[in-house]
Amino acid sequence: MPIISVLIVEDNPDIQLLLRTIVSRDDEYVCVGVVATGTEALRRIPELLPDVVLMDIGLPDLSGIECVRKLKPLCPNVEFIMCTVYDEDEKVFESLEAGANSYILKKSKPELLLTAIREVHEGGSPMSSDIARKIVAKMQRSQPPRPDYHITPREAEVLTMLSKGLTYAEVADGLFISVKTLKKHIYNIYEKLRVDNKVEALNKFFGKY
């Protein structure tokens, strides 16, 4: 298994030591450097090109988020993990939008941090469970409400069966109605969805546009 090179960006000496100790205690990882400022990170990371960067947010000169935003285009193959005490929604989403691949709280167990480094290096985006919940909640809030077309349960059945490629005769047989009655349902569906044909009706009802 290849050794993963890790660079730590952290201004607190005690946390620097802790993170270096965690990374260095496992033969699968090697710490290639520790820097304490955003300015130094902007200079050293393009030089060293580590596999993974553990990036603090609250740096004294430049936020870790801004560092990632500047560095990601320059170092597209470097993976960034935000390793911070902050779990505010705004900082989480700003970090991910800036180009971070993962967001781990400093209070997380050492095993979780090492696992996150490995998963990020392999193409994943691991998150602390509480951070993951925030992301899911935001996604759910940001989804636009589905329009209410006042489609009846019977009309929904018709659309579902048509989406399976069944003919009008097959749909009518399956619903135990006549083709004439089925066509009335379809006419009502088109009126409610404001479409002119079956393809448009299916696309609109099932959310394709």
- pLDDT at position 138 is 67
CATH 1.10.10.10 fits 153-205, yes or no: yes
Predicted pLDDT at 17:
94
pTM more than 0.85: no
State the pLDDT at residue 139.
Answer: 62
Residue 10 clears pLDDT 90, i.e. is over it: yes
Quick check: 209 pLDDT over 50? no
Rounded Cα distance between 25 and 70, Å, is: 31
The residue with greater pLDDT, 180 or 139, is 180
Domain boundaries, given as residue ranges, for the chain: 4-142, 153-205
Given the structure tokens 């450097």, which residue do they identify?
Answer: 33
Domain 4-142 CATH superfamily: Response regulator (3.40.50.2300)
Scan for tokens 């705004």, then name that residue.
90
**Share above pLDDT 90 across residues of the chain, in percent, rounded to a whole number:** 49
Strands 29-35 and 4-9: parallel
Q: What is the pLDDT of residues 48-87, one digit of tens each?
A: 999 999 999 999 999 999 999 999 999 999 999 998 886 6
